[in-house]
Amino acid sequence: MTTGDHGAAAPPGLDGTGLRIGVVRARWNSPIVDRLAAGVGRGLSSLGVRPEDVVDVEVPGSFELPMGARILAASGKVDAVICLGSVIRGETSHYDLVAGQAAAGIQEVQLATGVPVAFGILTTEDEAQALARSEDVGGHNVGYDTAVVAVEMARLAQQYPSSS
């Protein structure tokens, strides 16, 4: 296993060359989401995904991430999608609703479309925890982890194309 500037590991030889990846970002808590997006950029680049093969779109908040993912997945223009958001319990009266619906919706989109969707939503008690999971080079960044997930799952889907 190889590791990058993060806490997760990529399978040996994982190569994203030629893959097209959609990134959907929530605007809520955008300073945190920007840090996740930087991690995604580092992760995709380390796996050989070219910047011109990355489609970047924004949605208002994490609740809209599944719909953003659905739009990209159904477009036929991406091999996998990454959803980025930050839901902070201390700042959100309906934390459980937003976080739960986002998670359930993302799973539904990937199972319904057959296009892998990586879950890059930080669900934390406070901002300090969110910062600790979206660190710069050398630290843990969940965005970086989702880049590895997206490439790994896109390759798996290519290896076993749907017969239906």
User: Which residues contact ligand DLZ (rule: CB under 6 A)?
Assistant: 26, 28-29, 60-64, 85-88, 91-92, 94, 98
Q: What are phi and psi of 131, to 5 degrees?
A: -65, -40
Catalytic option among 2, 15, 60, 94: 94
Of 16, 18, 36, give the one whose Cα is nearest residue 26. 36
Close Cβ partners of 5 (under 8 Å, ≥ 6 residues apart): 39, 42, 136, 137, 138, 139, 141, 144
Q: Which is nearer to ligand DLZ, 49 or 122 (CB)?
A: 122
CB of 130 to ligand DLZ, least distance (A): 10
Whose structure tokens read 């986002």? 102
Q: Which is nearer to ligand DLZ, 43 or 105 (CB)?
A: 105
For residue 94, indicate whether it is catalytic: yes
Q: Which is nearer to ligand DLZ, 64 or 145 (CB)?
A: 64
Of 100, 33, 103, 109, give the one whose Cα is nearest residue 69. 109
CB of 93 to ligand DLZ, least distance (A): 6
Q: 62: how many CB neighbours lie within 10 A of its CB? A: 30
Q: Which is nearer to ligand DLZ, 85 or 143 (CB)?
A: 85
CB of 124 to ligand DLZ, least distance (A): 10
CB of 62 to ligand DLZ, least distance (A): 3
Q: 137: how many CB neighbours lie within 10 A of its CB? A: 12
> Catalytic residues, which ones?
94
